[in-house]
Amino acid sequence: MLSRSLTAAVWTPSGRGAVATIRVQGDLTELSEGIADVFHAASGRSLAEMPQQRIHFGRWGRDAAEDVVVCVTNSKTCEIHCHGGDAAVSRILSDLESVGCVVTEWYWQLETERGVSEYEHAYALSQATTLRAAAWIAVQVGRMERAIAELTELVASGQREVAAARANEMLAWENFGRHLTRPWEVVLAGRPNVGKSSLINALVGFERSIVFDEPGTTRDVVTANTVLDGWAIRLSDTAGQRGSARDLEAAGITRAREAFAMADVRLLLIDVSQPPHADDWQLLAEWPDAIVIAHKVDLSDIWGEVLPTNAIRVSSLQRTGLKELSSVIVARLVPKLPPEEAVIPLTDRQRCELMTYC
């Protein structure tokens, strides 16, 4: 059995990729002895005898062996490259674990090898929601580490107020940084049958939501992901809200209201082809910060002059008004971009550390 000092982790995405990479870190001499009966290099050399930074072809397994390529990258790290399917990866990890190697995640290995700052940056980059988000994360490498060092020096020299001001400048971008690795939440609300599902389908571009000409069809929160202007958005289609709902529908409305309250941006739909209803006015009064959408403008406009002046006129059927609506949503979510040199907190740990200087 190997000691618990050896770790193994998959460094490639899961799925059916052509090649998967498993990285093993620790005492390679001990690893070489432990896997002697499952790994056989074509050269006849053991792992411990292999020169660094050289590629070695071999076979892995006792029965029905897998083709693998092994490379010793440094004195404490080797990489095993195998078929990208889950079966091959699981088999090799199982063999490593059976001789005492600890199977872990790639980012824990990175933190052990290079420290928490590089780990956090690499992990955030791996979680980037879009290419635009990834570009903002990529330029942050090393910035937070240097910023924290500067704040520490300021406090040590008695400039606590200056340090607090600079920390607050960075924290001003915490919400922006948080949504580089998770979608913005955009939630739709309105009376039953105002066309929330149809609007989500129009924005996303495919039939994701339930669309049926019957009030109360959507009884739970249904989500769909899309990208607007390079930013990841999660659209949530909620139960139609009306005062006369009962039982199951009422439970769906409760969940809808909770989702609406927690949203980054709220979209409130009005069906202009139907006369104004008391529930419409109640929703408009209750959510004054919502983006109001005058929906179904391809039909006769019954609302006329009583329609809120800030309402965006949209027809999901004819796909009109969608570009303007998308622009308004993005402007509400990201009203201002950080300066190119800004230090943006990407993790909860970074945000908490900055708060200690405030």
Domain ranges of the chain: 7-112, 116-173+340-355, 184-333
Q: Please name every residue paired with 314 in a beta bridge, in sequence order, or none if there are none.
A: 295
- Please give the C-alpha separations between residue 340 and each of 15, 136, 138, 356, in angstroms, as whole numbers: 36, 9, 12, 25
Q: What is the pLDDT of residue 215?
A: 43
- CA–CA gap between residue 218 and residue 221 (Å, rounded): 8
Instruction: Mean pLDDT check: name the lowest of 20-29, 152-161, 233-242.
Output: 233-242
Q: Taking residues 325-343, report their average pLDDT.
A: 97
Predicted pLDDT at 182: 96
What confidence tens digit (pLDDT) does each residue in 7-57 have?
999 999 877 678 999 999 998 988 999 999 999 999 999 999 999 999 999
C-alpha distances in Å from residue 61, one per residue of 16, 93, 224, 239: 20, 11, 43, 54
Least confident of 117-121, 169-173, 219-223, 347-351: 219-223
Of residues 10 and 238, which shows the higher confidence score? 10
What is the spatial distance between Cα 134 and Cα 125, in angstroms, rounded to a whole number? 6
pLDDT-wise least confident of 66-80, 132-146, 236-250, 321-335:
236-250
pLDDT (0 to 100) of residue 86: 87
Query: Per the structure block, which two tokens stand in for 13?
Result: 């995405």
Domain 7-112 has CATH 3.90.1150.10: no
In whole angstroms, what is the distance from residue 115 CA to residue 145 CA? Answer: 11
- 35 within 8 A of 97, measured Cβ to Cβ: no
How far is residue 114's CA from residue 109's CA, in Å, rounded to a whole number? 9
Residue 321 gets the label, from left (phi > 0), alpha (psi -120 to 50) or beta, of: left
Please name the residues in contact with 14: beta carbons below 8 A apart, sequence gap of 6 or more: 86, 89
Please say if the pLDDT value at position 238 is more than 80.
Answer: no
Look at residue 217 in the predicted model and tell me its pLDDT: 43
Q: What are phi and psi of 187, to 5 degrees?
A: -115, 135
Each residue's pLDDT tens digit, 188-233 = 999 988 999 899 999 988 654 443 344 444 445 678 899 999 999 9
Q: Can you tell me whether residue 74 is helix, strand or coil?
A: strand
pLDDT tens-digit profile of 85-116?
A: 888 999 999 999 988 899 999 988 988 888 88
Residues 54-73: tens digit of each pLDDT: 999 999 998 788 899 999 99
Report pLDDT for 82: 93
Q: Which whole-number Å values give the CA distances from 174 to 1, 178, 328, 343, 354, in the listed order?
A: 46, 6, 22, 10, 10
pLDDT for 309 beyond 90: yes
CA pair distance 175, 300, nearest whole angstrom = 41
Question: Rounded to whole angstroms, how far apart are CA atoms 222 and 236?
Answer: 6
Among the residue ranges 135-139, 219-223, 329-333, the one predicted with the least confidence is: 219-223
Residue 135 has pLDDT above 70, yes or no: yes
193, 271 contact by CB (below 8 A) = yes
pLDDT at 244 over 50: no
Mapped onto helix, strand or coil, the DSSP state of residue 303 is coil
Distance of CA 58 to the CA centre of its chain: 37
What pLDDT sits at residue 2?
47
User: Could you tell me the two tokens for 25?
Assistant: 């870190």
Fold of 184-333: Rossmann fold (3.40.50)
For position 210, what pLDDT does the model report? 41
pLDDT at position 264: 96
pLDDT at 116 (0 to 100):
87
pLDDT band at 287 (very low <50, low <70, confident <90, very high): very high
